[in-house]
Structure 1
Amino acid sequence: MWSNPFEELQGRRVLITGSSSGIGAAAARAFAECGATVSLHYSSRREDADALATRILAQGGHAFALEADLAVPGAGTALTEAAIAAMGGIDVLINNAGAPYTRVAIDRFNAEQVLRIIQLNELAVIETIRAALPHFRRQGRGCIVNTTSIAARNGGGFGVSLYAAAKGGIEALSRSVAREEGAHGIRVNCVAPGYIATPIHDVTSAEQLQRYVDATPLARAGSPEDCVGAFLFLACDRLSGFVTGQTVGVNGGMHLI
């Protein structure tokens, strides 16, 4: 039973939003290696998503690349329905897409920026969950893992107040849905990364990145691969079948400071 707990992921149908690069791409590779069928999602990085799907297929896996701009209302619903149609169902939903977009003080955001940040980081998650729930209920089982952020706990750095608020809202939403849907065999949890070296930090200054490292007891940036184990753990009933409504921090101890 314990020699290879991830064997139960063989044949599972997994949708991972924001999976053309970074944490989402690393998770997609891992689930595919475990034998899952993976729906990859991209917004603008089509070449990256197609390359990842091609790599998975070449290794004998199953993958689909699907486009959606989750900052547009309704796109989360359409994406989930497209993934379910492509895979013939869904077993695991990983809401990983998200971004702060811009770093300005709370009184400097314009109305369009506010709506875009909240739509991508919070409302799109609600859309995908709502679209997946009927399928999970019918099969009496389902797993939802939402990527949040240490910013939900500590407010993040300067200029990410709306992003932090949205991520905090997702953690609260996850606890509520876990309570509501537990009787249907549906588990809902979060993974909250700290400073992970991904393309989201391409616009972050070297000085700020060093401050993140200095605030991390393990004294380094995390990698996307550092996050993979948390997603596999939470998707695996054998390992986490009695775990729901929880947030797993992957932050190198940053929360301790």
Structure 2
Amino acid sequence: MEWAGRPNHIRGVPRKMVFMVAGGFAKLFASFLNSTSVQNAQTLIRLVRSRPPGVPLITVSNHMSTLDDPLMWGFKGFPSINADLARWVLAAEDICFNNSFYSYMFRLGKCIPITRGGGIYQEHMNEALARLNDGAWLHTFPEGKVLQEDAPIRRLKWGTASLIVRSPVTPMVLPIVHHGFEQVMPENFMFGRRPPVPLVNKKISITIGEPIEFDLPKMRQTAISLSHNFSLPLLGWPSTSGLDEAAQRCLYSAISEKIRTAMESLRTLGKKQKVLTPNCFQQ
């Protein structure tokens, strides 16, 4: 149902209606029924509204509830009802696309289905690359699943790193860390189930970092050098960007660790974190 996500689908009217409803819902619960504080909001707003033409944006965040998106875009001052400025987001296929109605609505909401466990070269990753090629904004949850405990950022999946490397124009990458949505939509509220509606009178905090800089040519060369030291069974990945699978693993691991470190620094309010040596063959 990719056609439903196209901007010219019925002249864009259904998409605009979805974002008016979803954006209003996000504003209601993030700005009025709960208390939300945001640090460095202007950096995100600036990059969403006026980054250089043709340059894509990838935002990455931790994932603490099924309502992180759209609620995290509902803070005061953010253009949450503007469908043209809204993010594209990678969304779990088994949750958001499990029937025709959901598929249509989430497609209107600029969601791209991802099969969990399907690997970084699954079909819909090409769709995400196409959106980046358009210079769009894409949001990902690189931890790969909801984690409601206040714990260090876990090792990230490599999908986001592969998009950064394979994008025709290197995206700007902005880390975001939030807390509080796990209280708004707890996984085990009653009888092991989520509440029927989001909870209120909770405190939400959103910390937005600065764009992460990647020296990709240098990182590629380092990855190629490191990959010569390993000899493990391969998965049959296609060569891309002049890299064989072993070099890709090292490069994706290094990029993911740099993102994880930036997110963990935000989570610990700027405390210095020890940078771990990338493990090229473990995800």
Shorter-chain TM-score above 0.5: no
Structure with the higher helix share, 1 or 2: 1
Structure (1 or 2) with the larger CA radius of gyration: 2
TM-score by length of 2: 0.37
Q: Which has the higher contact order (CA 8 A, sep 6+)?
A: 2
